[in-house]
Amino acid sequence: MLTTESLNNEKVDIRLYSPQALAFLGDAVYEILVRERIVHRANMPVNKLHLQAVEQVRASYQSKAYAVVEPVLTEEELAALKRGRNISSIKPPKNGTMQDYRRATGLECLFGYLYLKGEIQRINELFLMIEEHLEQGE
């Protein structure tokens, strides 16, 4: 779980960051949450940990996570989500759909946005919601 103590931020105007930069950071924030959860659940060989993490950070999984959090977002959070989703220079990976990749980028943008704002509790809230919904098979 992320804590506010892990931040060393001054107040910044988040609107000055490109959605690509927010998604870049948000990808790391999301992945650390996934990895931490996997490690806490089981001490296993690294290759098994890696395979579990890859499954949960791929675009198709994050696209499902997008659908879980979208209805509960504030207007400001929804704007960050849509900024990431609507990036025009997105090139999807070979084994994913454009819609999944756009939605995954939107989710990453949201997590980067919230991280830079220092809203760690909200990140943890949304991640827990994703975890609960997707582990139950939606």
Helices (H) and strands (E) in the chain, counts: 6, 0
Give the model's pLDDT for residue 18: 93
Q: What is the pLDDT of residues 60-101, one digit of tens each?
A: 999 999 999 999 999 999 999 999 999 877 676 677 788 999
Residue 118 has pLDDT above 60, yes or no: yes
pLDDT at 14 over 60: yes
- Residue pair 134/45 in contact by the 8 Å Cβ criterion: no
27 in active site: yes
pLDDT score at 138:
46
Residue 89 is predicted with a pLDDT of 74
Catalytic, out of 23, 25, 26, 27:
27
Degrees, nearest 5: CA angle 46-52-54: 100
pLDDT digits (tens, 9 = 90+) for 1-12: 665 555 555 666
Q: Do 12 and 116 contact (CB within 8 A), yes or no?
A: yes
The per-residue pLDDT for range 36-59, each reduced to its tens digit, is 988 888 788 888 887 888 888 888
CATH 3.40.50.10470 fits 4-135, yes or no: no
Euclidean distance between CA atoms 134 and 127, whole angstroms = 10
Whether 103 has a pLDDT exceeding 90, the answer reads yes
Query: Which pLDDT score, from 0 to 100, does residue 129 have?
Result: 95
pLDDT for 52 equals 81
